[in-house]
Amino acid sequence: MDKWAELGKQLDGMLQLRTPTLGVKLYKKRDDAPEVKPLAFPVAMCAAAGWSRYYKVPVLMTNEMKHACQVGWAALGFCDVDPDIKSGKRNAGVWAADAKATSRLAEGAVIPAGTFAAALIAPLSLMPAAPDVVVTYGSPDQLLSLIYGTIWHGGDRVKLESNGHGGTCRECVAAPYLYNELRIGITDIGERRFAMAYDWEMVAGVPYSKFEKLVDGVNCALTKGSYGRPYAPWGFQAWPQAASERTRIKS
């Protein structure tokens, strides 16, 4: 079993994820990407992720799909967005009150246009090569374990930035790729309408170069630390003595 597939299997099991962890591999040229059965119609990046995680198949994404969701494909470096989208003119009064407010929705992590022409997204067990970014969907408490796994080995505070758009494409694929760090995102309106994201689901993305250390950190946090899942509630009562001794302010 490939290393990335084994790490994905470990994480899926530790967090008891409902759908498999995905890998995203970015390609500078369309011809460099493997051939997979194409979808019947162009989709946004978030919909490709939904298709992959629910049906457990690889999905090839290309810059030919950019008309399905320019903002999403621009995030992956496939293209730039049309001027009237960037200015907010096209969607004024739909996504925000006016053009100026709507233009803010095009902001966020974006890989420079033309950097890539294709990407493969698939469960890690089906990835033909090491991915560039690893993407996980889960409940807040499942993704909280990723944060605990990061800080276990001295990692930084984890960022969640959102304007309600681009939860997967910008915040959890482009941002981890650009900034080389774990990011947490809120699944957005597109993911809920077209990618079957549940009301309670969030998304996380991490560069593959940090994935092995993250999985080890999650394992340590759950088995050696005090972060074992599921989190047993103590209720409205005095803290257990051991916890009190660890956290109280000493005079």
pLDDT in tens, 135-186: 999 999 999 999 999 999 999 999 999 999 999 999 999 999 999 999 999 9
Domain ranges in the chain?
A: 3-229
44 near 190, Cβ under 8 Å? yes
Distance from C-alpha of 212 to C-alpha of 109, rounded to nearest angstrom: 24
| pLDDT of 154 | 96
pLDDT of residue 231: 78
Q: What pLDDT is recorded for position 63?
A: 85
Phi, then psi, of 187 in degrees rounded to 5: -60, 130
Cα–Cα distance between 88 and 96 in angstroms, integer? 9
Predicted confidence (pLDDT) at residue 222 exceeds the cutoff of 90: yes
pLDDT band at residue 113 under the 50/70/90 scheme: very high
CA angle 243, 247, 251 (to 5 degrees): 125
Mean pLDDT of the chain: 92
Q: Where are the alpha helices (DSSP H) in the chain?
A: 3-15, 45-55, 70-75, 83-86, 99-103, 140-152, 175-179, 189-194, 211-223, 241-247
Mean pLDDT of the region 9-35? 97
**Tokens at 29, concatenated:** 């040229």
CB 106 within 8 A of CB 73: no
- Residue 40 pLDDT: 85
3 state DSSP class of 196 = coil
